[in-house]
Amino acid sequence: MSRGAYVGRFQPFHKGHLRALKWILEREEEVVLVVGSAQYSHTRENPFTLGERLEMIWRVLKEEGILERVIPVGVPDTDKQHNLWVQVVLTMAPRFDRVYSNDPMTRRLFKERGFEVRSIPFFDRDVYCATRIREKIARGEEWEELVPPAVAEVVKSVGGVERIRELYGRTGAPCT
């Protein structure tokens, strides 16, 4: 059985993430969805808790009928001890054969450990950018069409709109 790992923070899980996941599932029988920065929440970069992100993802996977092929797992950062991070992932996640990521640091760390690392096509990156989605929420702009309906429901149910507006001071910030 082939199993790939898809690494991201998913703050929030948006339609670009879903398209990337489906693209990976065309190449792998199963995917370990590594939800990074698991220990962070309530910041501009990481406004949602691990539990909130897992709920978003679980609901989307269920609606899409792919729940049985994806294993979500939260993994904390190692606070600038980058050489330890892959070991943490390997300890906390089920076994996988390949890694899918476009992040240069993630790619380098897994390559150094001998993993095959594959790039993921960017699906409408100018539209589906979690930073931009958070900014739209902060500014009171339309954002719901950028995420699966289940994600919008979770964001609203946990007070995510208000949380992000408070974190951004209701003004937003440039997309980085």
- What digits encode the pLDDT tens for the residues 30-41? 999 999 999 999
Numbered ranges of CATH 3.40.50.620 in the chain: 3-118
Instruction: Kindly report the number of other CB atoms within 10 A of residue 159's CB atom.
Output: 11
pTM for this structure?
Answer: 0.92
Domain boundaries 3-118, corresponding CATH code: 3.40.50.620
Token pair, residue 160, equals 């995510």
Residue type, 136: K
Q: How far apart are CA 11 and CA 15, in angstroms?
A: 12
Q: How far apart are CA 173 and CA 29, in angstroms?
A: 39
3-state secondary structure of 3: strand
Q: In which band, very low, low, confident or very high, does the pLDDT at 55 lie, cut at 50, 70 and 90?
A: very high
Q: How far apart are CA 129 and CA 122, in angstroms?
A: 10
Give the pLDDT score at 43. Answer: 97
61 neighbors 70 (Cβ within 8 angstroms): yes
Alpha helix positions (H), the chain: 15-25, 50-64, 82-92, 104-112, 130-139, 149-157, 160-167
